[in-house]
Amino acid sequence: MTKYHIGSTVEIIPNVYQITLRVTNIILIAEEELTLIDTGFRGSAPQIMSFIQRLGRSPEEITLIILTHNHLDHAGGLAELKRFAPAKVVLHKADISADESRLPYPRVIRRLLHVPPFSLFRPLVYVKPSEVDIQVEGGEVFSPLGGLQVIHTPGHTPGSISLFSPKKRLLMVGDALNNRFRVIQLPPKMVSTDLTQAVDSVKRIAQLDFDILCFGHGSPITKDASAKVQQLIRGLTI
Per CB under 5 A, the segment of 85-93, 123-131, 133-141, 214-222 that binds Zn ion is: 214-222
In this structure, the number of other CB atoms found within 10 A of the CB of residue 213 comes to 27
Rg (CA), the chain: 17
By beta-carbon proximity to Zn ion, the closer residue of 39 and 226 is: 39
By beta-carbon proximity to Zn ion, the closer residue of 144 and 218 is: 218
By beta-carbon proximity to Zn ion, the closer residue of 154 and 216 is: 216
User: Is 39:95 a contact under the CB 8 Å cutoff?
Assistant: no
Question: Closest separation between CB of residue 47 and Zn ion, Å?
Answer: 17
DSSP 69: S
CA distances from 138 to 26, 91, 124, 175 (A): 21, 10, 26, 16
Residue 56: burial class (beta carbons within 10 Å; 0-12, 13-18, 19+): exposed
* Site size for Zn ion (CB under 5 A): 3
User: Is 77:48 a contact under the CB 8 Å cutoff?
Assistant: yes
By beta-carbon proximity to Zn ion, the closer residue of 73 and 95 is: 73
The amino acid sitting at 33 is E
Per CB under 5 A, the segment of 68-76, 133-141, 207-215, 220-228 that binds Zn ion is: 68-76
Best CA proximity match to 102, nearest among 117, 91, 118, 114? 114
Per CB under 5 A, the segment of 27-35, 36-44, 66-74, 220-228 that binds Zn ion is: 66-74
By beta-carbon proximity to Zn ion, the closer residue of 30 and 173 is: 173
What's the rounded Cα separation, in Å, for the pair 215 and 19? 11
User: Is 88:63 a contact under the CB 8 Å cutoff?
Assistant: yes
Which of 7, 106, 159, 216 binds Zn ion (CB under 5 A)? It is 216
Question: Closest separation between CB of residue 84 and Zn ion, Å?
Answer: 23
Which of 19, 173, 175, 218 binds Zn ion (CB under 5 A)? It is 175
By beta-carbon proximity to Zn ion, the closer residue of 24 and 165 is: 24
Distance of alpha carbon 69 from the chain centroid: 6
Any contact of residue 38 with Zn ion (CB under 5 A)?
no
Q: What residue ranges bind Zn ion (CB under 5 A)?
A: 73, 175, 216
